[in-house]
């Protein structure tokens, strides 16, 4: 089985990050990953069919022993996104849990499970915790909608797992800063803007941001906020003041006079009241922030607080930037449900650190392919129970890639006998149902 030429051309843009034999194996694995029912290496070999002409151990060694860098592949993928990027590159930062089994799996440990947990009860699960950095883009075929395309990954080891494998313990924010520096520092002429939840909004990230990267995140509603430190007068003795006068907390801001606005976020319009101010956090007294306190007038979102290092932005812009972060959650869901992010059965260090992230890299490649050429051929499937569907989901993009690849393969058979069109249509329908 072979994928369509347009997708293979896109994949070829990653070839500079690895040797020619390794890239050949990598392309075969991606082909099998698209068609496999379960994302294990052996299932990918079977799904790739005739294109998997090497010994099966070669494809296992692709993840466990081959000399290639996952970071280099991710940065090469970032270069393929250039036609869709604006003056400021929006970045999504988050972590996600990949549930695994086995005590000997490298890096596995007990981590917080956000799907099973509730506000009143926290539940943990055995598996891998991945810190993911993605690029948030608005693509031409669907204006007003944002996609998060993952490019860089770090496996978080908790304290027990780090001690077991004799690794230096590093927190999730530290891993996030490492990825931001890897992406931003070599590109000093570009501006980046990361959006993240409160786990990455503390001083561990805020005080160590690259000089060309801004941050928008959540803020606790009782945060200690201060004005800028006053100018030091001549002849004054003692240490200079680090902070100015205390400013109202976000809760107090909402008790004061607020503006009533209509926010266009999360694909809908919401009525809310908000207040904003220029302030400094206690941990970063020298960095001005735009702090926004917002309360939804309808719905269950309640009172929330956000901040952005772009202190000249309006309150509506800050809330809109943070709303882009939802695309990260959609990416996590689609990568697990449609591409088997949790399914690889690797257990050694290199295999674990390489195999699962390939699912998210493939997610980015499929969306880029759909934005380049796939959207021209997509048509909504007739569903009487869903007549309002007008936009393609990721599952639709994946199904289209499979269907066009099969169609091209069947066309190459040059069927000329009676009933050949029915055979071709039957195979396309089988692929559509399997997708």
Model pLDDT, residue 376:
93
Q: What is the pTM of this model?
A: 0.92
Q: How many CB atoms lie within 10 A of CB 432?
A: 14
Domain limits, the chain: 5-68+347-376, 394-434
pLDDT value of position 85: 95
Q: What is the pLDDT of residue 239?
A: 84
Listed residue (409, 434, 378, 372) closest to 11, CA to CA: 372
Range 100-138 burial, b when 16+ CB lie within 10 A, else e: beeeebbbbbebeeeeeeeeeeeeebbbbbbbbbbbbbb
Please, what is the Cα angle at 363 between 359 and 366, to 5 degrees? 130
Which pair of structure tokens corresponds to residue 204? 């561990």
Q: For 42-78, what is each residue's pLDDT tens digit?
A: 999 988 888 888 999 999 999 999 999 999 999 999 9
pLDDT for 22: 95
- Please answer whether residues 150 and 94 qualify as being in contact, where contact means their C-beta atoms are separated by less than 8 angstroms: no
The model's pLDDT over 138-157, given as tens digits with 9 standing for 90+, comes to 999 999 899 999 999 999 99
Instruction: Determine the Cα–Cα distance for residues 404 and 336; give it in Å rounded to an integer.
Output: 23
E-strand ranges in 245-350 read: 246-247, 259-265, 268-281, 289-296, 303-308
The angle subtended at Cα 263 by Cα 86 and Cα 82, nearest 5°, is: 10
pLDDT < 50 stretches in the chain: 433, 435
């Amino acid at each position: 089985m072979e994928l369509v030429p347009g997708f293979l051309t896109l994949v070829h843009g990653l070839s500079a990050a690895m040797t020619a034999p390794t890239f050949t194996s990598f392309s075969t694995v991606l082909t099998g990953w698209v068609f496999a029912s379960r994302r294990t290496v052996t299932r990918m070999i079977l799904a790739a069919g005739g294109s998997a002409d090497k010994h099966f151990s070669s494809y296992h060694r692709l993840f466990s022993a081959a000399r290639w860098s996952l970071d280099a592949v991710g940065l090469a993928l970032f270069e393929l996104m250039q036609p869709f990027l604006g003056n400021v590159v929006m970045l999504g930062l988050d972590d996600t849990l990949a549930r695994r089994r086995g005590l000997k799996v490298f890096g596995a440990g007990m981590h917080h499970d956000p799907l099973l947990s509730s506000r009143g009860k926290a539940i943990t699960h055995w598996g891998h915790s991945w810190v993911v950095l993605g690029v948030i883009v608005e693509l031409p075929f669907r204006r007003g909608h944002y996609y998060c395309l993952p490019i860089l990954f770090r496996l978080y080891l908790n304290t027990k797992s780090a001690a077991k494998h004799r690794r230096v313990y590093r927190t999730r924010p530290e891993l996030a800063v490492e990825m931001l520096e890897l992406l931003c520092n070599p590109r000093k002429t570009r501006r980046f803007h990361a959006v993240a939840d409160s786990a990455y909004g503390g001083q561990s990230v805020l005080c160590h941001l690259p000089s060309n990267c801004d941050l928008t995140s959540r803020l606790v509603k009782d945060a200690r906020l201060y004005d800028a430190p006053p100018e030091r007068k001549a002849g004054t003795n003692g240490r200079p003041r680090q902070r100015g006068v205390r400013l109202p907390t976000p809760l107090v801001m909402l008790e004061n006079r607020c503006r009533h606005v209509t926010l266009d976020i999360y694909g809908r319009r919401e009525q809310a009241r908000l207040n904003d101010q220029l302030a400094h956090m206690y941990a970063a007294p020298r960095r001005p922030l735009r702090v926004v306190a917002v309360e939804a007038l309808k719905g269950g979102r309640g009172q929330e607080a956000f901040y952005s290092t772009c202190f000249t932005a309006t309150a509506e812009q800050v809330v809109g930037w943070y709303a882009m972060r939802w695309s990260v959650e959609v990416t996590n869901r689609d990568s697990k449900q449609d591409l088997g992010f949790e399914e690889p059965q690797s257990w050694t260090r290199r295999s674990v650190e390489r195999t699962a992230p390939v699912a998210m890299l493939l997610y980015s490649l499929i969306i880029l392919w759909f934005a380049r050429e796939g959207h021209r051929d997509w048509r909504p499937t007739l569903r009487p129970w869903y007549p309002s569907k007008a936009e393609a989901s990721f599952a639709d993009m994946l199904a289209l890639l499979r269907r066009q690849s099969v169609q091209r393969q069947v066309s190459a058979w040059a069927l000329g006998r009676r009933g050949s069109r029915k055979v071709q249509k039957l195979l396309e329908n089988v692929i559509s149902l399997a997708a």
